[in-house]
Amino acid sequence: MTSARSNRRHVQINRRALLHGSAAAAGSFALMGYDAVAARQEATPVMSQSVGDFDVMEVTIADLRAGLDNGDFTIRELVQASLDQIAALDAEGPTLSAVSETNPAALDIADALDAELAEGNSRGPMHGIPILLKDNIATADGMENTAGSLAMEGAMPIRDAFVTELLVEAGAVIVGKANLSEWANIRSPRSTSGWSGRGGQVRNPHQTDRTPSGSSSGSAVAVAAGYVPVALGTETDGSIVSPANAIGVVGIKPTVGLTSRMGVIPISHHQDTVGSLARTVADAAAVLTVIAVPDPADPAVSSQANGNGATPVASPVASPVASGSGPSYPARPEGFSAIDYTAADILDADGLLGARIGVWRETTGYHPQTDDVFEEALAALAEAGAELVDPVVMPSFEEVSTSPDELFVLLWELNPGIAAYIEGYVDPEFPIRTLADVVAFNEAHPEEELLWFGQEFLIQSVEMSDLDDPEYAETVARTQRWGRETGIDAMLAEYGIDAIVSPTGQPAYKIDLITGDNWKGASSSASAIAGYPIVSVPAGSRFGLPLNLSFIGGAFSEPTLIRLAYAFEQATNARMTPALLAPMVIPPVT
């Protein structure tokens, strides 16, 4: 066992590379007219499939539901179109590498669901809708769950994750697993977002030499490129909203505990959450409606149902939960119940009218193009009827931005969390049982796993002290206080606002496997350590690269955030269809 003091000496700090890992270090491009740049690019022919009268790169769940219910096409035809789009763009053509594997049973599942519809039995809005799950969410259907690691190849889950069960019950067709940043980007401070030993490098469909960000890289790319209308991702800090920004799609990072983490390969049980990525707010909200069901096995739910206390040792999300002033999960409002996030009072095009929105300018200034699009978004919010409170200030912004404590928490929780997941969801005969086993595997296979970057964070997590170390609980409680009482909660109360807006991130930089990521800034960390939600929605673009706006709120404020994001989306229509452009060519200076 390593002492807490030794923990702090040993950990290498690179929070931005870890927590906001996207945009690579090959540098920015010269600021010139986009037409001049675009003229030097060659577009890859877009191999867009169609189903009925719909283009799969634009179709919504509502479109598909209507077509299926009207008999315009079958679920088999829809799933086949999804598989054909993956085949055309993933390993061929622009080789986006967004999918780790496709489901060999997908067409059989489609046939069974078609038979149900033929008998007049519909499971609801998601019946027959194709979806991809990030390759850290367990499915007991013959697909692996690897976190992108070659060490985990062959690790067939023995049961579904709770969110998987909910999707299957709702009639969704899981067509495959989405590639990701290996180990959800907690392997090394010098990692490259979107790369995994199993799946290779995910590419940005807007310009294929640009980062997809991460860690839910493949999930974001898959919906933008028309593989599926929706996908599941996970977020510890930025892993849904950052790729949503780089790819220009909608990302919903829910409150910790709104969706179950059981059956998900973890980083941190205090920060991990499962959310949705889609081309529209309505589609992302539709999936959230299905998966936002309390799971009694998840400590974020059970700790509130039974009082804060020790999580059972057998729980695949392992750790004690302190009471009083110690660590806690976001508190559910009294009387909280299941919500239809697609209800008319949430998906309201006039939802910005009269809303008081705080402008968080402390999260600007790291990239001029980001700031330009942010100003355009603020103007659009005001035009749509929002009252802007400009600026709002976070009392704990300095601590949230500079302290290494969040990273310490993640490394403390990673090692026991991985062991608990394997114990609960992987065949007992599978040889990898612990994070130390993963480290040893990587050391034995350096050409496959360690060629581009190391595994410093994995090693440091193995060497951290146990979760009964008092400093662990103190550190978690401190970071949560920064995110909540002196962070987001303080801003909402001080300014009397409904939500906070900030830029989600910067334009995507070039992929650079040698140097790694070079992220300039983001706004996800306060929500991450608080366990609070974010909705990121397309806001504009520069040089053909998307940029998003983040709506940030308090615990379980998803209805408000989705309402505001939907109204903004309807007012701006800012999402870009990917052009599948080749690498940008910069003309020489003359």
As annotated, the active-site residues are 134, 215, 239
Indicate the residue type of 6: S
Sign of CA dihedral 227, 228, 230, 235: negative
d(CA 120, CA 111): 14
Q: What is the DSSP string of 345-379?
A: TTS-TTTTTT-EEEE-GGG-SS-HHHHHHHHHHHH
- The residue among 295, 211, 223, 226 whose CA lies nearest residue 252 is 223
* Beta-sheet strands, E only, within 173-243: 173-178, 195-196, 200-201, 230-235
Tokens standing for 554?
A: 């308090």
3-state percent breakdown (helix, strand, coil) of the chain, nearest 5: 35, 15, 50
Q: What are phi and psi of 234, to 5 degrees?
A: -130, 155
Neighbours of 350 (CB within 10 A): 12
d(CA 272, CA 261): 7
* Beta-sheet pairing, 387-389 with 356-359: parallel
Cβ 85 vs Cβ 104: under 8 Å: no
Neighbours of 402 (CB within 10 A): 10
